[in-house]
Amino acid sequence: MKNKEPIILLVVVFFSLLTYYLVEPYAHHVMHKHVESEGFAYKDLPELTKTGDATRGQELVMGAGACVGCHSIEAAGMPAAMEPQMAAASYGVNPPDLSNAGVVYDEKFLADLIKNPAHALKVEHKYTPESGKMHPMVAFYGAGGDIDQEVADMVAYLKSIAVSQEELTPRMAYELACGRCHAMSYENWTQIGEKPSFKHEKDSLAYDIKVLEYQDSLKAYMGKLPPDLSMYIRSRGEHFVSTFIENPQSHLEGTAMPRVGVTAETAEKVIEHMQDVGDTKRHEREAVGKNVMIYIIIFAILALLWKKQVWRDLH
């Protein structure tokens, strides 16, 4: 009698794979729009044409640029004037500390942001003339000289005070780029910082009230409370998160979420942090997986040999 098992196996595998292909890759391809990454090149923003001077930049940032009217720069000894929830009550969201802005954000993005915040952030649809609303960050109209030179100077200054790319940890990247709007409860992160452990419950509750106050302002500013990102790496996947960070409008046209403007390296770090929170056991999974595979393959070989031995007498 002819052995039909190989052909039967082929039929079973074929129909299983066909079903898998249709319900997984193909269905997802149809259901979700595919967004290609530009590699965080920000091609829509103009290149910096001038070489910046950090010393002049410092004068502008501290003086005529009026950055420090709203932003703290702890690296330059300028702490925040208000607590985060108070700042959010004024601006909608706590303006970021600029100490590491030079390493987290792309320089083209920073330059465009200084000149035209709503444009760089891709939220111009929110601030149309009809809406009567103004972006809380005031545009820089120049300090009397060549505005492009002045902007380049300020960017150069921000880069000069920032930590190096190597010193920027995934956690820092997340906190700066995402953390003022998105909590990450699995890491104890709130929009106003990491919640300390308090000895007394009333202190803990007082902290929670500040968070709630901050969230109320944020809700009014963004339209809804931005989601907690603890499990987003599992619910959205790396590709979605990455392209969404690059340009939220590409996935969700009209969203209130601004373009974050981070560099490609920072985006990678943000994703790494999200994996450190939502997929903590990924390295262990790889390692355990290999060992389990070795064990099972040995089991399968032994089972095969046993079958051969038992069946020798049956034919």
- Residues found near another protein in the complex (CB under 8 A): 1, 4-5, 8-9, 12, 15-16, 18-20, 22-24, 26-27, 30-31, 186, 227, 230-232, 234-237, 278, 280-281, 284-286, 288-289, 292-293, 296-297, 299-304, 306-307, 309-311, 313-315
Closer residue to another protein in complex, CB, 113/245: 245
b/e for 12-47, b at 16 or more Cβ within 10 A?
Answer: eeeeeeeeeeeeeeeeeeeeeeeeeeeebebeebee
Closer residue to another protein in complex, CB, 158/274: 274
Structural element, H or E, at residue 103: helix 101-104
- In whole angstroms, the minimum distance from the beta carbon of 286 to another protein comes to 7
- In whole angstroms, the minimum distance from the beta carbon of 111 to another protein comes to 36
Structure-block tokens of residue 254: 């009209």
Q: Say if CB 99 and CB 161 are below 8 A apart.
A: yes
- In whole angstroms, the minimum distance from the beta carbon of 210 to another protein comes to 23
Closer residue to another protein in complex, CB, 5/166: 5
Q: Say if CB 249 and CB 255 are below 8 A apart.
A: yes
Q: Which residues lie closer than 8 Å to 259 by C-beta, 6 or more apart?
A: 109, 120, 121, 122, 123, 246, 247, 248, 249
- In whole angstroms, the minimum distance from the beta carbon of 284 to another protein comes to 8
What's the CA gap between 73 and 88, in Å, rounded?
17
Q: What is the 3-state secondary structure (H, E, C) of 26-61?
A: HHHHHHCCCCCCCCCCCCCCCCCCCCCCHHHHHHHH
Closer residue to another protein in complex, CB, 19/128: 19
- In whole angstroms, the minimum distance from the beta carbon of 265 to another protein comes to 26
Closer residue to another protein in complex, CB, 14/198: 14
Closer residue to another protein in complex, CB, 111/181: 181
Closer residue to another protein in complex, CB, 114/241: 241
- In whole angstroms, the minimum distance from the beta carbon of 23 to another protein comes to 5
Q: Which residues pair with 184 in a beta bridge?
A: 189
Q: Which residues lie closer than 8 Å to 236 by C-beta, 6 or more apart?
A: 244
- In whole angstroms, the minimum distance from the beta carbon of 133 to another protein comes to 26
Structural element, H or E, at residue 117: helix 117-120
Amino acid at site 244: F
What's the CA gap between 223 and 133, in Å, rounded?
14
